[in-house]
A and B are shown apart, each in its own frame.
Chain A
Amino acid sequence: MSRKIVIEPLTRVEGHGKVTIHLDDQGEVVQSRLHIVEFRGFERFVQGRPYWEAPVLVQRLCGICPVSHHLAAAKAMDVIVGAGTGDGLTPTAEKMRRLMHYGQIFQSHSLHFFHLASPDLLFGYDSPPETRNVIGVIMANRELATQAVLMRKYGQEIIAATAGKKIHGTGAVPGGINKNLSIAERDVLLKGPHPMNADAMVRYAQGALDFFKDYYSKHKEFIDNFSRFPSNHLSLVRPDGALDFYDGVLRAVDADGRKILHDVECQDYLAHIREEVRSWTYMKFPYLRHLGPEKGWYRVGPLARLNTADFVPSPLAQEEFEAFRKVTGGRPNDMCMHTHWARLIETLHAAEMIRDLLRDADLQGSDLVVRGKREAEGVGIIEAPRGTLFHHYRVSPDDQIVMANLIVSTTNNNEPMNRAVNNVARALMTKAKEITEGMMNAVEVAIRAYDPCLSCATHAYGSMALAVSLCDASGNVIAQRTR
């Protein structure tokens, strides 16, 4: 009897999606898919809007990493207003934006690790779903939960201080920023009462890393092998090869670490990236053009970034990075669950950068916006918490947006997430007599490692519950189970 398994809506990922797995008469997995189930039509409806609205409009694609969309759109609009690419802004504007972005990475990574992923680690992916969530974490480990809440809070306060508002702020404008950081605002963030200050957050981030490493030492087999598979990796890097979330050049490496995209300029992305369409999901499948869809798909996000970058430009995180790299002898790391590790190293890096930036007097500068020769087209690329995010706009002489193209982080991970689903389904469900809730959650654990922001992915397109349907050969549902 063939069976079809449906996991819907996916939970503890951010956004809207579902998984289907088909088993044939022999109990072999014949097909598995991650479907993105929503479509927004953003690329079309933003046409006709004035270009300066874009940074404020587009972040409404995603309330989880709004700052990334806000900044990617602003960077594209920098090009449009003639402020150049990346280095054209005033020091105050660039540093305010960076601070905002580090705040975003810090809060988003903390949220993901503690609120969304830690329940699987703390309780096991096959523990009862009633407690396998952040509320369970609060009940079981109040100290850890409190720390998680405060880390997220701190990141959100940085965003509020730089963007004006915790969610959907307005700080970045084409060519710069609309406020600086007052001394009073700075002092709250730098020297606030324990633990709401920059030094404490660095220590919290180290603590989170220790928590993970301790877990890893006890569950090495699972962390190393769960849903592992080779892939290409893509991200921005600073021109000197450093990890950089805000700006840089596009680099991709293959599974052996050979460069397959050689530090290309952001404005040229379209010469190198294409997106395939498949009929069963609203999310497209990006690939490197010269390699084609079969071989050119890649991973983005924390794991990919630590695989493409040569070093991390802050001392504590660099030390952790070296330890991380040592595990694979310098080769790209393809262990899916190591993404959590990479994410925490980045969290520490963000904390260090925040601490150092807050001491920079440029943040109190008053030169906020630059303008130059008006251009018709601009690309803004940024490393969002979940990976490389592309914004590309064309603007008419009367200031209306006439074309918008967005490739969001989660879309870049579409193929890897589909492979992850397939891997886990094959490993756990092949010939299984009974499909348990734990097996279904395991599929989600694999997806969750990518921290997919399905809201973003829905832009053009957008929770996931669990229902299993047993179907007969002709597809009729003969039994159903939900949780």
Chain B
Amino acid sequence: MAQKKIIATASLAGCFGCHMSILDIDERILDLVELVEFNKSPITDIKSFTKECDIGLVEGGCCNDENVHTLIEFRRHCTILVALGECAIMGGLPSLRNEIPLAECLREAYIDGPGMSEANPAGIVPADPDIPRILDRIYPCHEVVKIDYSLPGCPPRADLIWEALVALVTGRELILPYDSFKYD
């Protein structure tokens, strides 16, 4: 049998829906594990790359400095890097904050929100060396590193993810049907 392809996945500023859509390939996941080997991924316990990977799937854009590091690391370790879903491709829902100064978002969450003046009289806003710094706006993946392929959808539907994985693993060409170009 040919060498198994190695896959890594990451969720950056996404909602995990794209990862859930991977699981929605249902029974085919039983075949997938025969076809590929998973490396760094939130569904395994492998927390940093132990091997160079053939395919990296990235969900979500970058909202903090840690996302940027993770994405650069994925680019370094993956031969092919795929932006999975609207957030990775264009920023998605989190990028609604791009038009709003970050300070206003923080104020609303921690200081101005209902009941906050009572519960947080000191007006604490989280800031600590142990939590990443938030970026001024959401950066879609292609603004940070070179992206080889994009799979559209919010999330990309499971069949499309399956077709794409099979195409990448077997070196076939993937035809993206026109009706998959929507971000519903």
Contacts and interface: CB of A to CB of B under 8 A. Distances in A.
Interface string A88-130: 0000000000000000000000010001000100000000011
A35 B105 CA distance: 19
Nearest to A9: B47
Contacts of A455: 11, 14-16
Contacts of A441: 45
A82 B81 CA distance: 49
A133 B23 contact: no
B91 to A, nearest CB: 12
Given A62-B15, A168-B154, A41 B30 contact: no
A383 interface: no
Interface string B103-125: 01111111001111011100011
A465 B73 CA distance: 14
Contact of A40 (B94, B120, B131): B94
A149 B27 CA distance: 6
A149 B45 contact: no
A298 interface: no
Contacts of A39: 63-64, 105-106, 109, 126, 134
Contacts of B75: none
B155 A168 contact: yes
Size category of the B interface is 35 or more
Contacts of B64: 37-39
B43 interface: yes
Interface residues of A, number: 83
A20 B18 CA distance: 28
A280 B131 contact: yes
A35 B127 CA distance: 11
Most buried by A among B18, B110, B124: B110
B100 interface: yes
Contact of B108 (A8, A38, A43): A43
Interface string B34-70: 0000101111111110000000000000011010000
A455 B118 CA distance: 27
B47 A41 contact: no
Most buried by A among B30, B64, B106, B131: B131
Contacts of B151: none
Interface string B10-39: 110111111111011011011001000010
B96 interface: yes
A460 B124 CA distance: 15
Interface string A276-290: 111111101000000
Contacts of B41: 11, 463
B184 interface: yes
Contact of B124 (A66, A279, A461): A279
Interface in B77-111: 92-94, 96-97, 99-100, 102, 104-110
Looking at chain A's contact residues, the main secondary structure is: mixed
A41 B97 contact: yes
Contacts of A133: 38, 43-45
Interface in A213-251: none
A195 B99 CA distance: 49
A41 B33 contact: no
Contacts of B20: 63-64, 167
B114 A403 contact: yes
A166 B24 contact: yes
Interface string A438-469: 00010000000000010100001111111100
B130 interface: yes
B115 A274 contact: yes
A57 B19 contact: no
A151 to B, nearest CB: 11
Contacts of B24: 153, 156, 166-167
Contacts of A47: 108
A138 interface: yes
B128 interface: yes
A25 B99 CA distance: 48
A45 B96 contact: yes
Contacts of B119: 274-277, 293
Nearest to B45: A129
A396 interface: no
B14 A63 contact: yes
A231 B48 CA distance: 35
B105 A45 contact: yes
Given A39-B109, A135-B33, A149 B130 contact: no
Given A11-B45, A61-B93, A273-B115, 13 more contacts: A15-B16, A37-B131, A43-B109, A60-B154, A62-B17, A63-B20, A115-B43, A133-B45, A145-B30, A279-B125, A279-B126, A282-B126, A466-B47
- A-B CB proximity, top 5 nearest: A63-B17, A465-B47, A41-B105, A463-B42, A129-B45
29 contacts: A9-B47, A11-B41, A11-B44, A39-B64, A40-B13, A44-B104, A45-B105, A60-B154, A62-B17, A63-B16, A64-B16, A66-B15, A111-B23, A115-B23, A115-B43, A132-B45, A133-B38, A139-B33, A150-B27, A152-B23, A166-B158, A168-B17, A274-B118, A276-B119, A392-B114, A405-B113, A460-B109, A464-B42, A466-B47
